Structure formats: C-alpha cells, structure tokens
Amino acid sequence: MAASELYTKYARVWIPDVEEVWKSAELIKDYKQGDGVLNLQLEDGTELEYKLDPKTNNLPHLRNPDILVGENDLTALSYLHEPAVLHNLKVRFFDSKLIYTYCGIVLVAINPYETLPIYGTDIINAYSGQNMGDMDPHIFAVAEEAYKQMARDERNQSIIVSGESGAGKTVSAKYAMRYFATVSGSASEANVEVKVLASNPIMESIGNAKTTRNDNSSRFGKYIEIGFDRRYHIIGANMRTYLLEKSRVVFQNAECMKYAVFLLTRLGPKTAVFQQYHLMLSNTWSYRDELCITFSS
C-alpha cells in the first residue's frame, strides 16, 4: 500500500504550528495522489485547507492511534517522527508525571525542575538486580544494566549523558553514581563510595556557574571513571575534565556568574572556609570590579 493511501477521511495528522510547534488535525476528505491540498479540521473545530508544498508534495506526519500514546518505549509507536516523540513524552509527563521514557536502549529524560520522590534508597533497591524491560524507565535501570553487564561480561561499561544546557545531565550523572555507590556496598572501612559522592560539590564549586538557563551549569565536559574490585565494590574514581570555560574567570555575560567558588569571597575572609583553605581577599586584583581571591600559602 502506498503511504499516501493512509490519508483517508478521519486519518489524523500533525501539522507544523508557530506557537504549539505541532498541532493535531483530522482529514475530512480522502486525499488523492496529485491533490495540492488536504482538507483538515483542527481539534477546535476550525476547518482548514492545508497546502502541500508543490515541489516536494510531502504529506504531513500521521498521528499514532491513541492506544499507543503513553507507551514507555518510543519504538513501540507505529509512527516515529518528531511530533510523535514529543506528543508521547508530553502525555507521559503531563498525565502521569513520568519523566523517563525509553527509545530502545536509550533513556530519554525530561527535566521536571522539581524534586520527585523517585530517587530514594527504596527505589534503588527495587531496581537492583532487575531487567531493564521489567521495570518502568529510570536512570537507575540504565545504571543497573551497566552494573550487571560489567559483572556478567567482565568488561568496562560506559554511560553517555547528553543534552542541551540545563537538560539535567549533571543531575542524572549524580543519580547514576549514587546508584553505584548504594548497590556496590562498602568494600572496606574506607567508604570509598561515600568519598566519591562527596567529591561532587567540590568539583562543582570550581567548575559550575550560574548561566541564564541553569543556576548550576557545569562549564566543562566531565569524564568520570569509576573503578570496581573483583567483588564489584567501588574502589575509586577518577574524574577528568576537559574544555573548562576559562574565560568565565575574567568575563561573564549579563545575568551570568563566575565560578561558584569565587562567590565564597562574598562571605569574607573570616569564615571557616577561608581559613580551612588558606584563602584571603585581595584588593590588588580586580576583574571587572569583581573581587578576586588569592592563596595565602
């Protein structure tokens, strides 16, 4: 069957919209090959003659049947295109507050910008030892899969976290690390996993800064390597940073800030932090009227 034969009366499509990005519409007349327009009705009842581009004659994307919408794996959808992906993610998030969805082995995460009660030790324990497909999509399921495969195949595993600024990469990486620290248990008195987690705030204070899109933006790329012993306990971690935005030290755009560690200077040299790290205020250095710190030793 030619794809165009699917465009019959009552078929539903997505058409581009300046405000809503994609708008749903229903065909009120069968489409015949060669037609220059589609006769559509929008959800608010408005009828519309939708002109097809005469050069490409591309038909709009078809909408998935409602029964498929809300699936926890995007690959289960009949039509997988941008409006289908966005609509499915939106329905899951708005109707059920679900921020995680799979697309095969890839986990798609929506930043909820609020603390959700889905990261506790009870949830970690629920995911521990389970198969990815048996549980709701979650960053813990991805972490569990990597942990399990490391143990089973005795091979290094990598989790790649990507997304635009403010998407939730740093937070996701921290939850994955928390998962490993919790399930791997303590190998020794040294509590290495606690130390690995405790290193995060220090890393962030010297590498994170407020931007217009993220109050705690990591201004560098981060490669975190976590080492496990033969019994799969954490024995150490190695963090390599790259592409640190050095220019931020001396220049910040409007409404952006310098690295968090420099803001400690506002607390003044008498604070414990200053004494602990032998820091003092310097009046001799001034970058764009901002205070700067020097090391006293």
Smaller CB distance to Mg ion: residue 184 or 218? 218
Smaller CB distance to Mg ion: residue 74 or 256? 256
**165 annotated ligand binder:** yes
**163 annotated ligand binder:** yes
Least CB distance to Mg ion at residue 217 (A): 6
**168 annotated ligand binder:** yes
Return the one option of ligand ADP, Mg ion, none that residue 165 interacts with (CB less than 5 to 8 A, by type).
ligand ADP
**Token pair 């962030």 in the structure block, residue:** 204
**Token pair 């800064």 in the structure block, residue:** 209
Q: Answer yes or no whether residue 216 interacts with ligand ADP by CB under 6 A.
A: yes
Q: Over the range 211-249, which residues count as b (16 or more CB within 10 Å of their CB) and which as e?
A: beebeebbbbebebebebeeebbbbebeeeeeebeeebe
Q: Answer yes or no whether residue 88 interacts with Mg ion by CB under 5 A.
A: no
Return the one option of Mg ion, ligand ADP, none that residue 121 interacts with (CB less than 5 to 8 A, by type).
none
**166 annotated ligand binder:** yes
Question: Is 45 in contact with 66 (CB distance < 8 Å)?
Answer: no
Among 113, 158, 247, 276, binds ligand ADP (CB under 6 A): 113
Q: Answer yes or no whether residue 170 interacts with Mg ion by CB under 5 A.
A: yes
CA-CA-CA-CA dihedral for 288, 291, 296, 297, to nearest 10: -50
**Rounded CA separation 245/248 (Å):** 6
Q: Answer yes or no whether residue 265 interacts with Mg ion by CB under 5 A.
A: no
**Rounded CA separation 169/182 (Å):** 20
For 259, which DSSP code? B
Q: Answer yes or no whether residue 148 interacts with ligand ADP by CB under 6 A.
A: no
Q: Answer yes or no whether residue 115 interacts with ligand ADP by CB under 6 A.
A: yes
**151 annotated ligand binder:** no
Among 169, 178, 219, 248, binds ligand ADP (CB under 6 A): 169
Question: What is the 3-class SS of 37-97, one letter each residue?
Answer: EEEEEECCCCEEEEECCCCCCCCCEECCCHHHCCCCEHHHCCCCCHHHHHHHHHHHHHHHC
**Rounded CA separation 119/90 (Å):** 21
Residue whose beta carbon is closest to ligand ADP: 168
**45 annotated ligand binder:** no
Least CB distance to ligand ADP at residue 155 (A): 27
Smaller CB distance to Mg ion: residue 12 or 169? 169
Q: Answer yes or no whether residue 138 interacts with ligand ADP by CB under 6 A.
A: no
Binding interface with ligand ADP (CB under 6 A): 111-116, 163, 165-171, 214-218
Binding interface with Mg ion (CB under 5 A): 169-170, 218
Bind-site residues for ATP? 163-170
